[in-house]
Amino acid sequence: MEALSVPLYITILFLFLFTFFSISFLKRSRNENSKSQNSLKLPPGSMGLPWIGETLQLYSQDPNIFFSQKQRRYGEIFKTNILGCPCVMLASAAAARFVLVTNAHLFRPTYPKSKETMIGPAALFFHQGNYHSNLRKLVLNSLSLERLRTLVPSIEAAAISATDSWAAAGHVINTFREMKKYSFEVGIIAVFGKLENEYKEKLKQKYCILDKGYNCFPTRLPGTAYSKALSARKKLREILGEIIMERREKRVTERDFVGHLLNYRDENGESLSEDQIADNIIGVLFAAQDTTATVLTWILKYLHDNFKLFEAVKAEQMEIYRRNGEGKMPLSWGQIKDMPFTHRVVLESLRMASIISFTFREAVVDVEYKGYLIPKGWKVMPLFRNIHHNHEYFPDPHIFDPSRFEVAPRPNTFMPFGNGVHSCPGNELAKLEILILLHHLITKFRWEVEGSQSGVEYGPFPMPLQGLPSRFFKQTTTNR
């Protein structure tokens, strides 16, 4: 068990306290008044110290222990105060479904203002209602199974290029960082289809600066990571403006995400503004990178640590490799969809790692759940990790066991991509790029993890310590 590093949790603490401090106090005062007029009681739990709440307890230890201890003490629903916000936390499948599916209209997505500024306020995951549903349909259409089938050659080329570069480096690499590069490349493919190298390199350069400042304290002082990120965001917008203008002038009608955005018309015949298009492109690139890169890093660790697991995956992948003339032929869509054991390993990795441990919602009205009051303005947090590690849903939850996915999990118990109208629309793309990369990595390479092989860090997603430093080696035909 590893605690958060001091600089990281202090940064996160001040980031959110800075954002929510003033409005949180006003909301608490208002909610206390409304509470006295309501016969319903608040959920059990502790609100911690004034203003700070229980933030230090959460960020000074493994957050999973914090949530588990709360659940054992108070049950599936409990209150606390985190990051200056009164919160209700929900740790059951039924509660998650209540918030995310059946009563989603009563809870709005909520993010710190600094994050909206960084990505762009018009990005679909900051909204609900018609605007959100219409944009979500555009994403789903651009990432339909029919569309993904056409992306396989490009994603495979990205996977081959990435894995070859790791072995050619000849030194220890940070696995997570390299997986981020690969995921970003796939994101570019999904968003733009074919994109000129000049534009691609400009986007990578500015996005990297933006990414570094995303989780930093939001001060605009010159020289800070946040200030640099804001400047990079402005440059990104200019680059995207050039791409959008070029597409419009050439009247390009591609089926990629940009094409769907450019061709969109609402019920009044209105098109999206350039800012709306740019914000949603940046939003999709953000969503396509960190979570997929993190789970890929975990998969490599699980395979490295479990020899029998690795051999079982390798046997399945080598059979495909041999059918493809010892890797001389490209992967087909049918082969990717026929990797049952590898697919179960991916699903079990998503459950075990639970990259998205919880999600933030905010009650838009006073809500009753199981006899308890969730006051208007309070944050509501379905705890995905607690649900994924509940022995009632998954026996022996701390054991890595892909066989548990031979039968579909009970509804609302497995939510690695969220649930309901705000679930990740790119989940099939994520699984596709993971399976393609694993095929080439396992059939052509071996890897050794360097340094400490245990421990978890949070940045903000849980990941193997130091990004899983590893050394990669290309295998010859004889030793394969």
Known binding residues for heme are 424
Bridge partner list, 41: 372
- How would you classify the pairing of strands 85-90 and 379-382? parallel
Q: How far apart are the first and last CA of the chain?
A: 35
* Token pair recorded at residue 432: 């596709």
For the record, the structure tokens of 92 come out as 């059951």
Residue 326: Cβ within 10 Å count: 12
Annotated binding site, which residues?
424
3-class SS at 450? coil
Contact present, 208 and 285 (Cβ < 8 Å): no
Beta carbons within 10 angstroms of residue 321's beta carbon: 22
Number of CB atoms found within 10 A of residue 206's CB: 21
Instruction: Tell the residue number behind the tokens 């606390």, with chain if given.
Output: 80
Q: List CB contacts of 338: < 8 A, sequence separation 6 or more.
A: none
Q: Helical H runs in 170-256?
A: 175-192, 197-213, 225-250
